[in-house]
Structure 1
Amino acid sequence: MQIDDRGDMAYVNRVADDELGMALARAGAVLIEGPKASGKTSTASRRAASSVRVDTDPTVLPQILVDPSMVLEGARPRLLDEWQVHPELWNAVRRAVDDAPERGQFILTGSTVPGADAVRHSGAGRFARLRMRTLSLAESGDSDGNVSLSALLEGEPPRAGVSRLTFDGLLARIARGGWPAQIGLKDVEALASTRDYAATISTVDIGSTRSVRDPLRVDRLLRALARSVGTEVSISTLARDEASLSRDSVREYIDALTRIFVVEDQPAWSAHLRSSAMLRKEPKRHLADPSLALALLGADATALRGDLAFAGQAFESQVVHDLRILAQPLGGEVFHARDSVGREVDVIVQFPSGRWAGFEVKLGASAHVVEEAAASLRAFAANVASEDPPVLTVVTGFGPSYRRPDGINVVAFGAFGP
């Protein structure tokens, strides 16, 4: 983020900017969802001709009580920020789009998924959906952006020298996070801000799901999730770790945290294997931003350096976070895979065409580390029946980016871009 002439923070260009433009061009309304403080309102405001803050504008409720469609009056595209505070607006927008079937009329932003009974109509054919997350390294300027993910997936070999993002710089970026409003803060200030954010999750934000939750238990569960970030920790293990919740209660709490976009699991991949090995079904657990895990555990970049095992978990979670952002405009969904004989891939990006790409994530970049990761990718890919050969890549924490003689890419995380 840069500072403008008035001393205010200028807008950070987002991968979602182009996605929003395309969504407005194909649908009457666009729903942007994601965690609080991820930049949804700023991105939407740049496209909106008028807006209303549904959660804070005192004139909204009286209009809702008379006729919800009154809130929709204004120049279009009209932004309804935090629309889910008054779920009636969903059907009002749906009817308005039906009555005047023009594209790009409304933008709705939300940091909570309403309950199943709050939205009775899916909005199919009327709403486009867009998921926003905190800043990727490419968006925050911490990545050189010399290796394009889209070009990599099209078969172009990566070619970049050592990225400017050092090992310590990477740990510092993971600790401070990708929260747009924190750019420009000192690292210690950013970490304190994230800790404040983490505290509000258990005391305030989860209440927006309209479910009764014990803040102390929510906090303990969040800490258990933080300790296991980037791993396939089971519901049973989380219940034992948290100690005071049953497995069913853990599921309910995780569902509530998912509905406010604090938890975003990485589902297990489903594919046809050549052997009789079975793919495991447990998801990997991730938080909205890896910095939340550190904030919940009272850790910082120095603590990460002193615990390289946990640093590896946090790094893998950061890579998953960024690949979700970079792959989304390409139609890619992010999974992980592990079979019953131990073959695994840290990240699989699946495309609607059936093509897939596999990524092994390694914090180190030594020849031995890269060779082991490449061998793992080859072994897994050889056991998957697929028409098109996958793009296989080892993602390292630092170093150069290149293609190995066996065709497997090696890309330093600080080089990735759209």
Structure 2
Amino acid sequence: MNGIGAVLIEGPKACGKTATALRIAKSTVRLDEDESARMALTLAPDQLFDQPTPILFDEWQVEPAIWNRVRRNIDDRGQRGLYILTGSATPKDDAKRHSGAGRIGTLRMRPMSLFESGHSSGDVSMRDLLNGHTQTGSGAALNFEDLIRRIVIGGWPSLMDADEHEARSWLRNYLTQIAEVDIHALGARRDPRNINRLMAALARSAGQAVKVTELAKDVGGPEGPIARDSLYAYLDALERLHLTENAESWRPHMRSRTRLRAAPIRYFDDPSVGLAALGIGSAELLADLRATGFHFESLVMRDLRIYTQPLAGTIGAWRDSDGNEVDAVVSLPDDRWAAFEVKMSPTAVDEAAASLLHFASKIDVSKHGAPGALGVITSTGYAGRRPDGVHVIPISALGP
């Protein structure tokens, strides 16, 4: 807010965008609820801006014309921190909507990390890891069973004090709203059954590069695969609702000529969404720990994105044609980077550490620089740096 005319906060419904913006805003216009405000945008738009700033325009995508009005008012007033826009969906590209570059900054908001919800000690700092500092700490903030329950409940502010039964009921209603109402509000009619099948298919393949042809079969169900164009439209709808987020392929300078795989890895913004789509809870997860590992990875990816966002970092995945892979590579604009393997079981740390060291040996550090850290993120235990230089990090010890 101190550096630009307006800030757009984007994220899935119920992640806390409005509640956060209300802490800063001095005036509020709720475009999704206030019919008179929507009429004023057409009849007397200046009235909406004749209020103490910062002005919050909540759910701005309901009336996309507000975008150009905000942009124009920033130009006319030449001040910073004037407006906040929140949106739980991204409208389609519109030639009539001008770029907000230099005027409107975008902030992605996600459900809360374990550190934000009070379920991580934060002893291990992502910032310090990327600066090459040795980190120690305890993952005692959560035992294993409680961690599994946090995967099911998720990081939704409304569910911080909810038990698992209450959370699963809330999430079922949440997904029903998405499939039957919010998808249609984007301006395209989609079959809710196909949306539900797509979310379940994405949940079953969490943390994996899934072929579009396989997704088409799962979504089509007994009627056969749906058309590729239809599938991409469904995937686009989930992205525009900020429910999914891909880890694109990280392409470093390599010492070898090994061919890298470029398919993105698909994740939900919060692991609870996938589990709700599958209709399973902690009992089922504890009965199938191999499958649980993939949902644990989704939780870790959510938190990694949140902890690296203040550093302007991005998350990628590295996979080569020989079957070698690294779950998460954090990259910063100044070329600092770190690589992490996600292993729910502490007994898998040795193998994961060896994989990270093998991966690091392939990077041409003369062109790409040495990693700030290599780390194995696990479920429980203590954090520290092994003699081989690889950090072991319980997720309930990780923080910004």
Conserved in 2, the CA contact under 8 Å of 1:263 and 1:287? yes
Matched, 1:385 2:364: yes
* Residue number in structure 2 paired with 1:328: 309
Matched, 1:155 2:155: no
Structure 2 CA distance for partners of 1:117 and 1:139, relative to 1, 3 Å? same
Distance 1:309 1:205 in 2: 33
Amino acid in structure 2 at the alignment position of 1:144: S
Distance 2:139 2:204 in 1: 31
Matched, 1:130 2:111: no
Offset at 1:225?
1.1
Q: 1:80 aligns with which of 57, 72, 85?
A: 57
Matched, 1:265 2:242: no
> Is the partner of 2:122 in helix, strand or coil?
coil
Conserved in 1, the CA contact under 8 Å of 2:139 and 2:395? no
Offset at 1:371?
0.9
Distance 2:120 2:376 in 1: 17
* Residue number in structure 1 paired with 2:333: 352
Gaps of 5+ in 2: none
* Residue number in structure 1 paired with 2:378: 396
Q: 2:352 aligns with which of 366, 369, 373?
A: 373
Structure 2 CA distance for partners of 1:342 and 1:189, relative to 1, 3 Å? same
* Residue number in structure 2 paired with 1:12: none
1:317-354 Cα distance to aligned partner (Å, 9 max, x none): 11011100000000110111101112211001111112
Offset at 1:58?
2.0
Conserved in 2, the CA contact under 8 Å of 1:343 and 1:379? no
Structure 2 CA distance for partners of 1:315 and 1:191, relative to 1, 3 Å? same
Matched, 1:291 2:268: no
Matched, 1:235 2:217: no
Aligned pairs for 1:7-406 (under 5 A) are 24-117=1-94, 120-243=97-220, 244-366=225-347, 369-386=348-365, 387-390=368-371, 391-406=373-388
Which deviates more, 192-201 or 115-124? 115-124
Offset at 1:359?
0.4
Offset at 1:162?
4.5
Distance 2:281 2:265 in 1: 23
Offset at 1:221?
1.2
Amino acid in structure 1 at the alignment position of 2:209: E
- Give the paired residue count: 393
Conserved in 1, the CA contact under 8 Å of 2:67 and 2:97? no
Offset at 1:245?
1.2
Offset at 1:119?
5.6
Structure 2 CA distance for partners of 1:89 and 1:257, relative to 1, 3 Å? same
Give runs of ≥4 in structure 1 deviating > 4 Å: none
Conserved in 1, the CA contact under 8 Å of 2:138 and 2:394? no
Amino acid in structure 2 at the alignment position of 1:382: S
Conserved in 2, the CA contact under 8 Å of 1:34 and 1:133? yes
Amino acid in structure 2 at the alignment position of 1:283: P
Conserved in 1, the CA contact under 8 Å of 2:123 and 2:138? no
Matched, 1:416 2:398: yes
Distance 2:210 2:138 in 1: 36
Offset at 1:86?
0.4
Offset at 1:79?
0.4
Conserved in 2, the CA contact under 8 Å of 1:90 and 1:119? no
TM-score between the two structures when normalised by the length of structure 1: 0.92
Distance 2:46 2:71 in 1: 10
Which deviates more, 39-48 or 55-64? 55-64
> Is the partner of 1:334 in helix, strand or coil?
strand
> Is the partner of 2:152 in helix, strand or coil?
helix
Distance 1:40 1:307 in 2: 35
> Is the partner of 2:244 in helix, strand or coil?
coil
Distance 1:113 1:68 in 2: 22
Conserved in 2, the CA contact under 8 Å of 1:69 and 1:93? no
